[in-house]
Amino acid sequence: MGLFDGKKGVVLGVANDRSIAWAIAKEILEQGGECGFTHLPDKADDPKQKNRRRVSRLTDDYENARFLIPMNVQQDDDIASVMNTAAETFGKIDFLLHSIAFASLEDLRGDTVETSREGFKLAMEISAYSLVAVANAAKDIMNPASAIATMTYFGGEKCVPGYNVMGICKAALDASVRYLAYDLGPRGIRVNAISAGPLKTLASSAVGAKGMESLYQHMSPLGRNITHAEVGRVGAFMLSSMSDGITGELLHVDAGYNAMGSPGRLLDQLASNK
């Protein structure tokens, strides 16, 4: 018996095998859950369909990966199409994973104070508002005692230089989790966020995460970095019936880094190097 036997849901945001969304989805699939997936739309003139192919390479290995369709989260019609496909495939769903964020490299690599107006709106729409949009579109096909989870980061709570405008978006995402948890609570739908420590993903390469792995290793209470598998298990837990009493929560999976108020053992290392 798997933790997700008889459970069905939708996973948004898998880009490749290093995606945190895939680590969570893989755990769900291997625990018996049925999943529908989306991928970034491919350009019409791309015969190789690269975005779809990157995801299908993963999902094709699982019979319980039931569909894979494109979705532009900026288009309400696309979001509605995904939910219609989920309803046609599953009837009702038990979980929804949102792992979507984007900002232009120009805005990410500049100082936050220099973020362009259009760049700010684009980043906020895709990285924060998209959770509101998909939750609204999904709420009528979600079973009672179902769950929504999104991916956030510590840069939304504290200033992490290099994370820049994305930190502002994650702060908005974190607040959205709390308000959505309140709105959807009467329906029995829980909404939570998972804040993972630095991992090698497509997104981390764009947001100034270089060197963060070493910092976490030296500062975190566990004295190491986390793994994709660890986040995968926690994400699956938050979308399962094992976490039925948790909503509006931001759960850190970062080897304890967020609990530190000083550099901790890193100070000892710095002292020994003098």
User: SS3 of 133, please?
Assistant: helix
* Tokens found for residue 88: 């046609």
- 257 has catalytic annotation: no
CB-based burial, 1-35: b 16+ in 10 Å, e otherwise: eebbeebbbbbbbbbeeebbbbbbbbbbbebebbb
Residue type, 125: E
Is beta strand 142-152 parallel, antiparallel or unpaired with respect to 93-98? parallel
User: SS3 of 60, please?
Assistant: coil
Task: Give every CB contact of residue 132 below 8 A, 6+ residues apart in sequence.
Answer: 176, 180
Active-site residue, from 153, 179, 182, 257: 153
Task: Give every CB contact of residue 53 below 8 A, 6+ residues apart in sequence.
Answer: none
- 163 has catalytic annotation: yes
Which of 177, 178, 175 lies closest to 150, judged by CA? 177
Active-site residue, from 163, 179, 182, 216: 163
User: What are the phi and psi torsion angles at 272 (to 5°)?
Assistant: -70, -20
Return the bridge partners of 250, or none: 193
Task: Give every CB contact of residue 112 below 8 A, 6+ residues apart in sequence.
Answer: 164, 165, 167, 168
Per DSSP, 129 falls in state I
Per DSSP, 263 falls in state -
In the block, residue with structure tokens 């998909």: 134
Residue type, 97: L
Catalytic residues: 153, 163
